[in-house]
C-alpha cells in the first residue's frame, strides 16, 4: 500500500536493532482516516476467509483491528495484558515475548467473547518474529475456534515472522513489507 509506505518513510524512525517507530500515525497517535483505509484494505484482502471475529492484542493492534472488523462487519476481540476487575469469567492465557518492551507478556481472552467454532482473523500492527501472532493463535485453539487468516499493517520480513507463522497454514497479508532496516535505512520489498 503506497500511502502507508510513504508515511513510514516520512514519519517512521529506524531506532536500530530492528525497531521501527511509527508512533505519529499508528502506535501512539493514530491517524483515524489512514486507519480506516488500512482496515478497508486488510478486509478486502482477507474477506474470503469469512471470519466471524477479529482478534488482536492490546494496545497497538486495536486500531487496525477495529478498522478491519468494522469493514468486515464482525466483532473485534482484543487479548488483554492484565485482567480488569470486571473479568470474572473463564479466560484462556498465553505468554509471548514483546519485541518493543523486551519482556514476556501474558495475553488473555475471555471465553465469553471467543467461542468454539468462531472463525478468527488475527490482525496486528506488526509482523516481526510472530511471537504475538502465534500466542494469539494458541488462544484461538484453546477455545476450539479456528484461525482463518492473519493481517498486519507492517511486516519486517528480515525477522522471519512469516516463516514462524506459516505453520498455521492460513493466508497472511501485510500492507507494507520491509526487507531491510540496515544502516539506518528502511528498504521495502
pTM over 0.75: yes
Sequential DSSP letters for the chain: -HHHHHHHHHH-EEEETTEEE-IIIIISS--HHHHHHHHHHHHHHHGGG--SEEEEETTTTHHHHHHHHHHHT--EEEEBSS--TT--S-EEEEEEEETTTTEEEEEEEETTTS-TT-EEEEEEEEESS-HHHHHHHHHHHHTT-EEEEEEEEEEEGGGTHHHHHGGG-S-EEEEEEEEE-GGG--EE-
2-188: CATH number: 3.40.50.2020
Confidence of residue 103 (pLDDT cuts 50, 70, 90): confident
Q: Where are the domains of the chain?
A: 2-188
> What are 104-121's pLDDT values in tens digits?
889 999 999 999 999 999
pLDDT at 161 over 70: yes
Amino acid at each position: 500500500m503506497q500511502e502507508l509506505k510513504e508515511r513510514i518513510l516520512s514519519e517512521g524512525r529506524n531506532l536500530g536493532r530492528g525497531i521501527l517507530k511509527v508512533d505519529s500515525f499508528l502506535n501512539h497517535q493514530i491517524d483515524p482516516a489512514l486507519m480506516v483505509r488500512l482496515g478497508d484494505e486488510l478486509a478486502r484482502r482477507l474477506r474470503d476467509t469469512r471470519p466471524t471475529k477479529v482478534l488482536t492484542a492490546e494496545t497497538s493492534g486495536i486500531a487496525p483491528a477495529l478498522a478491519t472488523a468494522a469493514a468486515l462487519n464482525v466483532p473485534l476481540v482484543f487479548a488483554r495484558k492484565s485482567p480488569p476487575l470486571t473479568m470474572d469469567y473463564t479466560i484462556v492465557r498465553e505468554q509471548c515475548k514483546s519485541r518493543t518492551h523486551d519482556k514476556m507478556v501474558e495475553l488473555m481472552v475471555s471465553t465469553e467473547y471467543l467461542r468454539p467454532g468462531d472463525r478468527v482473523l488475527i490482525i496486528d500492527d506488526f509482523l516481526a518474529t510472530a511471537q504475538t501472532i502465534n500466542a494469539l493463535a494458541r488462544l484461538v485453539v484453546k477455545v476450539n475456534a479456528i484461525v482463518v487468516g492473519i493481517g498486519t499493517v507492517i511486516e519486517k520480513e528480515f525477522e522471519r515472522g512469516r516463516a514462524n507463522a506459516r505453520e498455521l497454514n492460513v493466508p497472511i497479508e501485510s500492507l507494507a513489507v520491509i526487507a531491510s532496516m540496515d544502516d539506518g535505512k528502511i528498504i521495502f520489498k
